Amino acid sequence: MPEVRAVCEHDVMKRPLFGLSPLLFCALFFHVLLAAPLRGAPAAIAIPDDHGAEVAEAVLREGGNAIDAAVATAFVLAVTYPEAGNLGGGGFITLHHQGTDRFLDFREAAPGRASRDMYLNAQGNYITDSSLIGHRAAGVPGTVAGLWEVHRQYGTRPWKTLLQPAIRLARDGFVPHPQLIERTREAFADYEGKTNFREYFGSLGQSNAAQQPFPQPELATTLQRIAERGPKDFYHGRTADLLVAEMRRGGGLISHEDLRNYRAIWRAPLQWSWRGYTLVTAPPPSSGGIALAQLLGMKDALAADFKDAPYLSTRYVHLIAEIEKRVFADRAEYLGDPDFVTVPVSELVAPQYLQRRAQQINRAAISSPPGVKPGLAESLQTTHFSILDGAGNAVSLTYTLNGSFGNGVVVRGAGFLLNNEMDDFSVKPGVPNLYGVVGATANEIAPRKRMLSSMTPTILLKDGVVQGVLGTPGGSTIFTSVFQTLVNMFDHGMTAAEAVSAPRFHHQLLPGTLIIVSRCCNLPDKTRAELVAMGYDVRQNSWEFGDMQVIQRTADGGLTAAADPRGRGQARVFELMPRAARPAEPRSRPATVAE
């Protein structure tokens, strides 16, 4: 090797070493060095389906950062995870990039022609399903604007390149997962005769659906336009025209003006100190970050009570339910779009306030909803993924259509589903939404206002280093699921895989005695019987709430990742080799990023 000879013949190598000639010693040294395996920087992903996981890993291996991987993954999920991945919805990104923490709000907004009582009849009563199904249920979509904005600021790979995997999967089709087929068949009954859902997804209901690729040619064309023109196409161009034409066809409210005026908004993330860590999570218009801080803070304030409450015991479940009641009371009263209402964030997460709230809990009996007041002078088919790249940059991204497959309307000619996020407003004070959550005037409908959310994309830091990246879908169960996952890991010593697989339960202010348990994993029989004896109505849910995607740094500094077994996701930890040492990727590898 000429390079070895050049180094070994340098002036410093003129004397014998360890009885060997300088040249022989140098040659042996380089032989050992070159034979040693190259160690790369560790990276991790937790993604809700295998197509998204394949693309996220490929982007990172090909030199992209966490933001590049997130953009490519989000567009892929718009194709392969249509019940929640989307172009026609919106969401949030919590981001840690080179020591900086940021939060991007690309939540949907109410159309300019929306009004407070738009879902009420002449008698002032809610019109059944009017905020859930059909064209008038849709808010102005934010996903394309949000992904463009985060890529504009932090992406390193070309935008057009990152969309190629999604375009190929939409054009050529993918073999659908059995869970997607099941969910699609369940949705037919909801939308039959009301929307064009079956026209676009009917083949997923056929007996051979699991053996046939499912192409989406209109969606492929739309993605190609977005790859070439970015958000200009979606908000000003051909796709905007198709979306507005669909609104006119079905009596919807979204206009060209609404699309032109939409902006993704950078907001200060909610940062909250917890047990020596910094929790970086979602601020309003999400209720998730505040609720998560309140749950963790009140549980710590009741540490003495929890010492006598073994995990999943009757006392443990009851204490958590009492905490959750108070969180939902505050949520209903105070939280909404911060551009329209003043949200008392610092007061709601102040340690003194949480200590006082915790002491109001009834240790022995169920608090009735009328007795649980606000404490101050006061989708389920969402999807989430977590990405941590080799440089320590992290993305926690949650986006949604709200209900499964949104409002059931596919934009004709464009091939993507629209959201039913208008249901996340308080359509009438005291009237529960899809998830049984009630609200007050802070979250009432107003033109261009963003509806309150429960999405809680979260990053956990210690001394500026990412220790955890997590989040989940689940409607109103989102922040209670994130809370229980953190408690499982930090209080009960569970691994990431154990924490996401454990039973999850949920209680909210109304109904006052209802505790729901995720379908896969019930509470212990003894606990369930004792809760019923206390007066609780304990029900195993008909749908799985939560599809937790977690990345965790282990005590030795390594990484572990877990995808919730309730879903169809994948978690992977892998090493990224230094760029010069990377082998060339085969050009035929499916679903990777095109060069």
Per-residue confidence (pLDDT) for residue 588, from 0 to 100: 29
- Please give the pLDDT value at position 16: 55
pLDDT average, residue stretch 272-276: 97
279, β-bridge pairs: 272, 460
Beta strands in 137-185 (DSSP E): none
Give the amino acid at 42: P
Q: What percent of the chain has pLDDT over 90?
A: 80
Residue 581: exposure state from Cβ atoms within 10 A (0-12, 13-18, ≥19): exposed
3-class SS at 189? Answer: helix
pLDDT at 432 over 80: no
pLDDT score at 4? 42
User: Peptide bond before 511: cis, by omega within 30 degrees of 0?
Assistant: yes
Per-residue model confidence (pLDDT) at position 23: 55
Segment 289-309 shows an average pLDDT of 97
- pLDDT at position 584, please? 39
CB 163 within 8 A of CB 592: no
Q: Would the pLDDT of 335 be above 80?
A: yes
Q: Is 341 helix (H, G, I), strand (E, B) or coil?
A: coil
Distance CA 537, CA 153 (A): 49
Residue 592 banded pLDDT, cuts 50, 70, 90: very low
The strand ranges marked E within 260-407 are 265-267, 270-274, 277-281, 382-388, 394-400
- In this prediction, residue 518 has a pLDDT band, given cuts at 50, 70 and 90, of confident
Q: Is the pLDDT of residue 28 over 60?
A: no
Give the pLDDT score at 503.
93
Region 374-402: mean pLDDT is: 84
**Choice among 88-97, 107-116, 359-368, 538-547 with the minimum mean pLDDT:** 538-547
For 443, the 3-state DSSP assignment is: helix
Band the pLDDT of 98: cuts 50, 70, 90: very high
Confidence of residue 185 (pLDDT cuts 50, 70, 90): very high
pLDDT at 83: 95
* Percent of the chain topping pLDDT 70: 87
Q: Which pLDDT value is given to residue 5?
A: 45
Average pLDDT taken over every residue of the chain: 89
Question: pTM of the predicted model, to two decimals?
Answer: 0.89
Cα 466–267–487 angle (5° rounding)? 40
- pLDDT, residue 19, reads 57
- Which positions ≥6 away from 61 have C-beta within 8 Å? 574, 576, 582, 585
Higher-confidence residue of 585 and 87: namely 87
pLDDT tens for residues 203-215? 999 999 999 999 9
- Complete domains list, the chain, with CATH: 2-35 (no CATH), 41-174+213-268+379-581 (3.60.20.40)
Whether residue 310 has pLDDT greater than 80: yes
DSSP codes of every residue in 23-64: HHHHHHHHHHHHHSPPP-EEEEEEESSHHHHHHHHHHHHTT-
The residues that are catalytic are 382
The model's pLDDT over 119-177, given as tens digits with 9 standing for 90+, comes to: 999 999 999 999 999 999 999 999 999 999 999 999 999 999 999 999 999 999 999 99
Residue among 414, 420, 415, 426 nearest 381 (CA): 420
Average pLDDT over residues 362-387: 78
Closest by Cα among 92, 463, 38, 493 to 267: 92
pLDDT tens, position by position, 253-265: 999 999 999 999 9
The segment with the largest mean pLDDT, out of 13-17, 378-382, 483-487, is: 483-487
Please tell me the predicted confidence (pLDDT) of residue 475: 86
Sheet hosting strand 559-563, strand order edge to edge: 270-274, 277-281, 458-462, 465-471, 549-553, 559-563
Q: Is the pLDDT of residue 437 over 90?
A: no
Residue-level pLDDT at 435: 56
pLDDT computed for residue 430 by the predictor: 64
pLDDT (average), residues 316-321: 97
Of the candidates 410, 570, 564, which has an alpha carbon nearest to the alpha carbon of residue 484? Answer: 564
Distance CA 422, CA 158 (A): 34
Q: Within 192-336, where are the H helices?
A: 197-201, 217-229, 231-236, 238-250, 256-261, 288-301, 303-307, 314-334
Predicted local distance difference test score (pLDDT) of residue 12: 44
User: Is the CB of residue 547 less than 8 Å from the CB of residue 566?
Assistant: yes
